[in-house]
Amino acid sequence: MATPLVVVEDLRKMFVHMGRELHVLRGIDLTIEQGEVVAMVGQSGAGKSTFLHCIGTLDMPTGGRIKLAGEDLTNLSSSKLASIRNRTIGFVFQFHHLLPEFNALENVMMPGLIQGRSRKELEPMARTLLSEVGLGERGTHRPGELSGGEQQRVALARALVLSPKLILADEPTGNLDTGTSEAMHQLFFEVNRKHGTTIVVVTHNLAFAQSMPRVVRMRDGRIEADERRGASLPDASTAAAASVAPAAEGAPASSRGAGATVDAADNP
Ligand SMILES: Nc1ncnc2c1ncn2[C@@H]1O[C@H](COP(=O)(O)OP(=O)(O)OP(=O)(O)O)[C@@H](O)[C@H]1O
């Protein structure tokens, strides 16, 4: 039976900007089950990132309720929220925010090192994750010595190092070329398959969104559509190849038209 990981009820977020109220989330109800892979799509300004930040405990809602892994986040202190965040969520952003003075392996270990865990404890996991994202041989490279796609793969490995139940990704391939994006997209499916991690991705990439089993479309701070496609995930061998072959980054775009934007589809 499906187990809810994220339960959102009547979620609202209002910003006050220059004395004016901006109602960015206007009553969102959404349940995400454990192990789901969900695309969040919609036009620019629809509130996708704000929604992601709220369920990621990076931003406080102004109304409604969020339950994460059974815990009601309402009225929790910032330190309690940080503790839930650290043990439950891994983040992947458009810009990877790797620390330039540390190598790939150290960057992957960093969330654990910050928590006071030992290098000895973290290193085997970090090495395994780097291998899973196809960078087993690049552990000693600093971010400046890696391509954009490789840096983003290090960021994905870093997001996984504390074994989160949930990965929240905000335009994780928005900064990458089409072929590199495709390899990264396959990696998300591979991570879901291998670790059972629930994944929520904000994306403008039509091909990526359409490959997801569930697509939630936002408009003006509300959910406009929530479609479960029943689509099978991409072929495991394709995903595995993408995860182990850095060369896949240079692979040509598929005929599905990766790189097209969902917004373009919104406004035919
Ligand atoms: N801190 C803030 N203060 C005021 N307004 C904000 C703040 N953060 C976001 N907004 C506004 O909220 C609206 C929704 O922003 P959000 O980033 O969630 O949209 P989005 O759907 O992710 O858009 P995009 O696809 O362009 O990234 C925008 O109009 C934005 O200007």
| CA 186 – CA 180 distance, rounded (Å) | 10
Cα–ligand 1 centroid distance for 46 (angstroms): 7
Mean pLDDT of 136-140: 94
Residue 231 confidence (pLDDT) above 70: no
Residue 257: in which H helix or E strand, if any?
Answer: none
Which residues lie with the beta carbon below 6 Å from any ligand 1 atom?
15, 17, 22, 24, 42, 44-50
| CA 184 – CA 176 distance, rounded (Å) | 9
Are β-strands 63-68 and 71-72 bridged in parallel, bridged antiparallel, or unpaired?
antiparallel
Residue 143 confidence (pLDDT) above 80: yes
For atom 26 of ligand 1, the residue with the nearest CA is 44
- Where does the pLDDT of residue 27 fall: very low under 50, low under 70, confident under 90, or very high at 90 and above? very high
| CA 161 – CA 71 distance, rounded (Å) | 22
Angle of helix 178-195 relative to helix 236-244, nearest 10 degrees?
110
Q: Is residue 142 classed exposed, middle or buried when 0-12, 13-18 and 19+ CB atoms within 10 A define those classes?
A: middle
Q: pLDDT tens digit string along 199-215?
A: 999 999 888 899 999 99
For atom 30 of ligand 1, the residue with the nearest CA is 45
Cα–ligand 1 centroid distance for 31 (angstroms): 22
Strand spans (E) along 127-221? 166-170, 198-202, 214-219
The pLDDT of residue 243: 33
Q: pLDDT tens digit string along 148-188?
A: 999 999 999 999 999 999 999 999 888 888 888 888 889 89
Residue 139 confidence (pLDDT) above 90: yes
Tokens representing residue 181 in the block: 């994006």
What sign for the dihedral angle of Cα 238, 226, 174, 257? positive
Mean pLDDT of 53-74: 94
- Where does the pLDDT of residue 230 fall: very low under 50, low under 70, confident under 90, or very high at 90 and above? low
Q: What is the pTM of this model?
A: 0.84
* Residue 254 falls in which region: left (phi positive, over 0), alpha (psi -120 to 50) or beta: beta
For atom 7 of ligand 1, the residue with the nearest CA is 15
- Specify the CATH architecture of the domain 35-58+78-266: 3-Layer(aba) Sandwich (3.40)
- Where does the pLDDT of residue 97 fall: very low under 50, low under 70, confident under 90, or very high at 90 and above? confident
The percent of residues in the chain predicted with pLDDT above 70, rounded, is: 85
Residue 259 confidence (pLDDT) above 50: no
| CA 83 – CA 100 distance, rounded (Å) | 26
Cα–ligand 1 centroid distance for 45 (angstroms): 5
